[in-house]
Chain A
Amino acid sequence: MHAIAYDEIHDEFSVPVPLPQAILTFRGAANGEEAPIRILQGPKTQLVDPERLATDPVHSEIFVPQGNSVLVFARDANGDVAPIRILKGPDTELGASAVGVDTVHNLLIVAGGGQGGQRFRIFNRTDNGNVKPKAVIGGPKSELRSIGGPFAIYSPKGWIVATVRGGEGLASDLGFIGIWSVNDNGDVPPRWKVGGPKGVFQQPRGVTLDPKNKTIIASDKRLNAVLSFYFPEMF
């Protein structure tokens, strides 16, 4: 399982399950061996190896990055249901390995490869079909050599918070949490780097936010651990 998204408005969380090509949604308080409240699965979904997702609680949508496209489903879709939008086509320049939604600035941020290596590509949230990104963050100064995993968006201030892996080996001390702005464009460095390089990380992966306690929380595969950083600067 390579993604999980908590929807605080509807108090539920969703996970992609790659082998049976499904998106499962559980109630927020789910515990033990509890069945999902919704399963998105079947030929109409067009799901292939769903690895990551993001939810937009405000507009009630689920975004699933999938190779050279992003599938968008209604949050309450259940069963064999088709996407309501598909962002796809040569102008999108996707590679999509992870997604995030800025519900305040109404933006969709897509991380992944494609033309020119690892990038954040920024679209309007409701973009559909073959649409050019509004902005692209990437390049040597951006240090986006390898985005570590699912990333987080802090919508009130438009921050993109992602981990960057140190390298392809089992461990590296070059990984860090990087923070960019949704207003960035081009080869721009992160506004902040937290916990590395030459810090605590060995192979950082996913990241999430606890705004109330002004904390960034990240996982690290090699440490097999979850690390919390108090970082009020970005909140």
Chain B
Amino acid sequence: MARYKRGRTWLGGIGFLAVLASAALGLLGSGNPAADRVVRASEAALLRPNGSPQMTSMQALPPEQDELMCPWLPASAETTLMAALQAPLTASNVGADSSALKPVRTIRDPYAAYSSVAVDPTNNEVVLTDENLFQILVYDRLANTPPTAKMTEPKRIIGGLNTKIEFQCGLYIDPTSGDIYAVNNDTVDTLVIFSRQAKGDVPPSRELHTPHGTFGIGVDEQAQEMYLTIQHDAAVVVYHKMAQDQEGPIRRLQGDSTRLADPHGLALDTKNQLMFVTNHGGRHEVKPGGRKAVTYAEGGTDDKPNWPIGEEVPGSGRHFPPAITVYPLKATGDVAPLRVIEGPKTQMNWPTGLAVDVERGELYVANDMGDSILVFDVNASGDVAPKRVIRGPKTNLSNPTGVWLDQKNGEVWAANFGNHSATVYKMNASGDTPPLRMIRSGPMEEPALGIGNPHPIAFDTKREEILVPN
């Protein structure tokens, strides 16, 4: 509209000049006596070239046919120039390239968030997985971050796209070779195995395509069998320990009788031939003989014996209390647990990592939402209180998701997802006990953001808060 008005003004100026020209030609070119008088009078008076503008004529302009040439508008009728410059652009820049637009804010934790832990007592090293920056970090077992230090530098880091490490949630160290087994929970569906000395962005020395949603790992060294829990389809699958690539499980524990419900941690008691599993509690029924569970492993396939069933019974979902279920070590199929530890006395709240001390007959549970390590008698059943609980502000436990027993040195380790730390205690520790040592990946006072595989996101317009499930 503004351009149109300016155009009308310019066209009006052209008309004004045309009137002047025609008047001058008429005056100068005609034989009219009155005109001659005007010319002579002009010559006698002012109209001589003098290098300056001169008034030559005055004549009324014809009226506009449609609208005013320059319509008068009050200042308030349109937006001000400043407002126009600040107003959001709309259709005029649709399709403009905004691909290089940088975020004005990024919420990201710059430090490792430890999710699982394992000790290599032979080489005096402790291995931690990091679900924030996608790494496996190897430290000296006796490392102890001073309170004033920002962090402890690891001896080795395995990480990068070639490693296929992302949300690694379970660890196992081969007691003979020192090989590191790291379980992926949600995004790669591939178990990766690295040699003890691996570091940097290196491919795994071995990998195994797994069902979607593996979490816990345990190995029966005598039988050379490896156990993995499957969260999504409530199962435990057992492989040959040295299985790789597309090799399938040799056994599967799955079905309504098992009471597996969002299984996480796993521990094996090969002496007493028992398998222990922690369960968060959410589950649904699967159709016997139904479609097999998915895998998103690159090149992965579900066309294998003993692969978990994935086809759900609609509307069969239920929430069960958190529990530890106990099975015969070689359980297969739809087998009921020998015992179940569950109930309010247990204090379990998202029981995640699990370890068993066969010699002392104790079960150690990383109790994620309880900020605690729970210790149960290995023969416990039903709604029983833990024998010991490590919990309290002095312990520095915060959302522990991994636990490991270092039998050789009599220590219990916790990987704390909630505060950038791994803490170690005497195996008989109880109550609000300070750790013997602590390895930190970030400053003591720096809060961990707790972001782990953010997928959906919502904005609470009332509180102006971003909701980030993980």
Chain A contacts to B: CB under 8 angstroms = 1-6, 8, 11, 13, 15, 17-22, 28-29, 33, 41-49, 52, 80, 149-150, 168-171, 176, 189, 191-200, 205-212, 214-215, 217-233, 235
Contact = CB atoms under 8 A, between A and B. Distances in A.
Nearest to A209: B459
Interface in B259-277: 261-262
A219 B284 contact: no
Contact of A17 (B98, B282, B315, B463): B282
A96 to B, nearest CB: 15
B368 to A, nearest CB: 12
Given A191-B95, A195-B99, A233-B90, A2 B284 contact: no
B458 A198 contact: no
A205 B455 contact: yes
B457 A219 contact: yes
Interface string B427-470: 00000000000000000000000011111111111111011111
Contacts of A207: 457
Given A4-B467, A219-B456, A225 B315 contact: no
B189 to A, nearest CB: 12
Contacts of B420: none
Contacts of A18: 232
Nearest to A207: B457
A225 B103 CA distance: 11
B457 to A, nearest CB: 4
Interface in B268-319: 281-284, 298, 312, 314-319
Nearest to B89: A233
Given A219-B457, A226-B466, 11 more contacts: A19-B262, A28-B460, A33-B349, A191-B95, A198-B100, A210-B461, A212-B461, A226-B457, A229-B101, A232-B88, A233-B88
B455 A21 contact: no
Contacts of A196: 99
A224 B314 contact: no
A47 B315 contact: yes
Contacts of A22: 282, 317, 319
Contacts of A171: 161
Closest 4 CB pairs of A and B: A21-B317, A43-B315, A225-B108, A19-B282
A217 B470 CA distance: 16
A224 B315 contact: no
B369 A20 contact: no
A224 B96 contact: no
17 contacts: A1-B469, A5-B458, A15-B469, A19-B283, A19-B284, A21-B317, A22-B317, A49-B312, A170-B166, A195-B98, A208-B458, A210-B464, A224-B451, A226-B108, A227-B103, A230-B104, A231-B98
Given A49-B312, A176-B99, A233-B88, A225 B106 contact: yes
B187 interface: yes
Contacts of B262: 19
A235 to B, nearest CB: 6
B109 interface: yes
A62 to B, nearest CB: 14
B15 to A, nearest CB: 41
Nearest to A11: B462
Contacts of B369: 33
Given A1-B470, A48-B312, A199 B101 contact: yes
A43 B318 CA distance: 10
Nearest to A22: B317
A147 B233 CA distance: 25
A211 B281 CA distance: 38
B94, B97, B283 pick with most chain A CB within 10 angstroms: B94
B231 to A, nearest CB: 7
A90 B10 CA distance: 63
Contacts of B314: 21, 43, 46-48
A90 B102 CA distance: 42
Interface in B195-238: 231-232, 234
B105 interface: yes
Contacts of B281: 20
A169 B299 CA distance: 12
B226 to A, nearest CB: 24
B129 interface: no
A206 B134 CA distance: 20
B93 interface: yes
Contacts of B454: 205-206, 219-221, 224-226
Contact of A41 (B109, B161, B188, B318): B318
Contacts of B103: 195, 200, 227-229
A209 B131 CA distance: 27
Nearest to B470: A1
A1, A218, A219, A229 pick with most chain B CB within 10 angstroms: A219
Contacts of B231: 19
A8, A170, A199, A232 pick with most chain B CB within 10 angstroms: A170
B164 interface: yes
A194 B102 CA distance: 9
Contacts of A199: 99-102
B107 A226 contact: yes
Contacts of A209: 459
A149 B456 contact: yes
Interface string B163-196: 0101000000000000000000001100000000
B367 interface: no
Contacts of B401: none
